[in-house]
């Protein structure tokens, strides 16, 4: 469980930091790091039975995936 918490912190803080950078080349990496943290969120919420948080995991996953679609796949 401690590994999940560390990875949530690392990926989450990195995604937030990148999302606030003035350079668009940095900002486009924010959803990549945000999405990379989602499996750790899923594991942490599922194993502890935090069903409300688990619902948020799916919402955040959709949001980060939308960011990847908008910043990486679209011209």
CB 19 within 8 A of CB 27: yes
Report whether pLDDT(75) > 70.
no
Count of domains forming the chain: 1
Q: What is the pTM of this model?
A: 0.91
Domain of 60 in residue numbering reads as: 2-73
Which parts of 1-75 are beta strand (E)? none
First to last CA, the chain: 39
CA–CA distances in Å: residue 38 to residues 7, 14, 23: 10, 13, 25
**DSSP helix/strand/coil, 16:** helix
pLDDT in tens, 6-62: 999 999 999 999 999 999 999 999 999 999 999 999 999 999 999 999 999 999 999
């Amino acid at each position: 469980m401690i590994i999940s918490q560390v990875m949530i912190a690392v990926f989450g803080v990195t995604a937030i930091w990148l999302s606030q950078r003035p350079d668009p080349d940095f900002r486009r990496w924010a959803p990549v790091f945000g999405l990379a943290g989602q499996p750790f969120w899923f594991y942490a919420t599922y194993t502890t039975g935090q069903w409300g948080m688990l619902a948020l995991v799916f919402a955040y996953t959709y949001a980060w995936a939308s960011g990847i679609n908008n910043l990486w796949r679209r011209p």
